[in-house]
Amino acid sequence: MFEQLHVELVKKAPKFLSLPVSLTPFPLKKYFLQQLLNWQFRHALAEGELDFLQARHLGIEIADVNLRWITTIEEGQLRVVQDAEADVWFRGNANDLLLVAARKADPDMLFFQRRLLIEGDTELGLEVKNLMDALELEAMPTALRTGLHQLAAFVEAGMKQDAKAAQARAESVC
């Protein structure tokens, strides 16, 4: 019973989050995202590893949460903008992107499964992907890293339980 609740929570949590995210005004989302991104990437920013985003725009869309934003570098900081044309878009669902961020899922595998979409300037997309692959999770702020790992473990376990249940259903039909 608790396993099924776990599976349903993992499957439906993004949909539950989509309403409050949709109702949150963009300036508030912008403030939160800028704080989080600049906190997370403070070392990469200081070392100039994100300079390739200067005057370029990276779009991120988490479809099942109705959250999308465009990021660029201005004055040495990551800025979130709403009304710009993205050079490249990264699109995926919350659970998949969470697992990628926690290094529990391979972005290439998700890309080939069409669960992660990269559209637009493929060279810029590859630079972003390579940077993300090179970032050390240990450099992430401890509170953020711990929360990310715990949430990713919860999601991963729920997805595995769901896959096992689907396989059992398929076997019982045969």
What pLDDT tens digit does each residue of the chain (174 aa) get?
A: 788 889 899 999 999 999 999 999 999 999 999 999 999 898 889 999 999 999 999 999 999 999 999 999 999 999 999 889 999 999 999 999 999 989 999 988 998 999 999 999 999 998 998 888 887 888 788 888 899 999 999 999 998 887 676 666 666 665
Among the listed residues 85, 52, 80, 84, the one whose alpha carbon sits nearest the alpha carbon of residue 67: 80
CA 51 from chain centre, in angstroms, equals 21
The token pair at 127 is 């630079």
pTM of the model: 0.85
CATH number at residue 119: 3.30.1050.10
Domain count, the chain: 1
Domain holding 59, by residue range, is 3-172
CA 112 from chain centre, in angstroms, equals 17
Residue 52 DSSP symbol: G
